[in-house]
A = this chain, B = another copy of it.
Amino acid sequence: MVRTILGVVMLSAILMSTGEAQVAESLNLMPLPAKVQLGNGRLPIDPSFSVTIAGHKEPRLDGVVLLFLGQLRRQTGMPPIDMKVTDSPSATLVIQCAAGTRNVQELGEDESYRLEVGNSGARLSAPTTLGVMRGLQTFLQLVQMTGQGFAAPAVTIEDSPRFPWRGLMIDVGRHFIPLEVLKRNLDGMAVVKLNVFHWHLSENQGFRVESKKFPKLHEMGSDGLYYTQDEVRDLIAYAHGRGIRVVPEFDMPGHSTAWFAGYPELASAPGPYEIERKWGVFDPAMDPTREETYKFLDKFIGEMAGLFPDQFFHIGGDEVNGKQWDANPKIQAFMHTHGMKDNNDLQAYFNQRVQKIVSKHGKTMLGWDEILRPDLPSSIVIQSWRGPDSLSKAAKLGYRGLLSSGFYVDLMWSAERHYLAEPMSGAAANLSPEERQRILGGEACMWSEYVSPENIDSRIWPRTAAIAERLWSPQDLRDVNSMYRRLPEVSQRLEWLGLTHNSSYAVMLRRIAGTDDISALKVLADVIEPVKDYTREETAPAPATSASPLNRLVDAARPESAAARQFTASVDALLATGPRPETEAPLRAWLGRWRDNEVALEPLFAKSLLLNEVAPLSRNLSALGAAGLAALDYLDRGEHAPGAWAAQQLAVVEQAKKPQAQLLLMVVPAVEKLIRAGAGQTVSSPSASSLPPN
């Protein structure tokens, strides 16, 4: 099944020429379809819009169409009493579906579709309901405001995904994320054609599912913050209605302190245990040498295998530091008896035992890189946080794999960096066709040390839309500028659907400012980003815990500053051509605003502790604004600034490069270029440094 689809996709990728890619790009679609042919004219979308379902009918398809109409209404602001489903063959949109889908969505089910939009009607045909879902999302993205009202351009699209597994993982263990927040993120996933919600349900800091067999798991391991089994079923149904599989993860044998709060006998050292509050890798791990451990897991996995219908069951398996094993004489004796030379051997033994249990309950096991050992059956799937080389190694050994390295959205990387992460790169580029098919796709990962219901959307969106395009669209689409042009459009669509990545920003800034007037704070907040990778821990004034408020500017700041990106591009443009009024004026406006902003913001510092910590950033931005303006003056006059001036300004730049309050001023490199140019120094080429170094 998987093989066939991948074959089709690769063919499509070849069929799509560069010219077609440009055509497709003009349509603001994300992810871009495999094949797009623009026609002439447009289909007006007004309240008389109607849909008819021809061909195969099933209740699920009706639900899909109602959902579609709801989204079309929300997008256009049209009322719910028109825009309906009819039996008329002259409906605006005719859906022709060849067959239904399975009750439990499977890996590799056909998601392809063909969409033809003409001046008086549209036709969507697909082999399955899943394809209809994908095609309807494309149709929604085609609908745009025009001078004549809402309309979809005449177009013919043939589309199918490059990879069959396109996921988003959300870690609800470290911070609990309420059901309605997950639901709105599922809505977002459907928009960008992601099809797997990987639900990371247990962590040292929390066990989040009701277990009827082992109730102390959620009762003592969750602070009362868990999903009931009814809620789990509700979420799975919600996802199913959007063409999304739900894969549960219960991390073992490490990352499991929260299990031990209720069941200390599972651990490799005596309890009692409490829910972990700190972040990091901790000692507690399950005892792989006791048969009781497997009896427990057999019952537990049996219960969860019944609750979660998906074929795949994720056992985590990452980051066991082995300290409890080293310190336990019984475990050491067991290892000696069984000829295990190190903890890796012991964990491999554990994985083998767990794999048999998972398999006994009818599921296919999935785990992180660490589980990869040739003694496991080739049915298991490896999820790689290490990279394509690791995936490639697995594929050569006959294992299927998923890429998550490069897609960790908690690391605060730019959309560009995620977009260019490629499952088929590195060693994977040289795999045989058969081996390539073992690379199933990838997953964006939202680890949740620093997310709350309030800011999680802004960590996931819109950057995950770029990851979704990487996983759906042809491999040769790598035009970063095109991606950035289309990203705001999909971001706006996600906001329409109820995601809060934009609206929460203002709400959080108002709290930080301690006032409703956030104009000055926004000038600063718009050009900063949280520190990257894992430096938030390293630069923390005090270690954060799961009880730390996430209400600081670093929690509100966007992972990627669009303003800084635009400013940087404008500086590059100016330096490439020399100062011209039309390129210089906006730069001066920006720099002047920054220079003057400190005066506006400073009175607020004493009134808000949350704002006070960013005072140094504000002063740095002000200094950068003044320095940039002075540099432009030199450039305008065609003079070289004196060396002493440049040295002084570059000292300001060095100061401004340092993280403050775990935040980075993203306009520093561009201002540095202006200063160097003003001083007649060589400036690196735009192509090498047009973007902030993240």
Contacts and interface: CB of A to CB of B under 8 A. Distances in A.
B145 A77 contact: no
B516 A609 contact: no
Interface string A541-555: 000001111110001
Given A492-B516, A503-B503, A503-B506, A549 B76 contact: yes
B608 A147 contact: yes
Nearest to A81: B223
Contacts of A489: 516
A146 B510 CA distance: 13
A627 B661 CA distance: 46
A337 interface: no
A399 to B, nearest CB: 38
A75 interface: yes
A641 B223 CA distance: 72
B147 A549 contact: no
Given A77-B549, A148-B609, A546-B79, A502 B511 contact: no
A599 interface: no
Contacts of A149: 609-610
Interface string A493-516: 001100010110011101110101
A413 interface: no
Q: How many subunits of this chain does the assembly comprise? A: 2
A558 to B, nearest CB: 14
Contacts of A416: none
Contact of A81 (B144, B500, B547): B547
A79 B608 contact: no
A607 interface: yes
Contacts of A511: 75-77, 145, 496
A176 interface: yes
A176 B80 contact: yes
Given A147-B607, A147-B608, A606-B147, A551 B225 contact: no
Interface in A554-590: 555
Interface string A293-312: 00000000000000000000
Interface in A64-94: 74-82
Nearest first, the 5 closest Cβ-Cβ pairs linking A and B are: A77-B551, A145-B514, A503-B503, A488-B516, A149-B609
Given A79-B547, A502-B503, 13 more contacts: A47-B548, A47-B549, A77-B454, A78-B551, A79-B175, A80-B225, A146-B609, A147-B606, A147-B607, A149-B609, A489-B516, A492-B510, A492-B516
Interface of A: 47, 74-82, 144-149, 175-176, 223, 225, 452, 454, 488-489, 491-492, 495-496, 500, 502-503, 506-508, 510-512, 514, 516, 546-551, 555, 605-610, 612
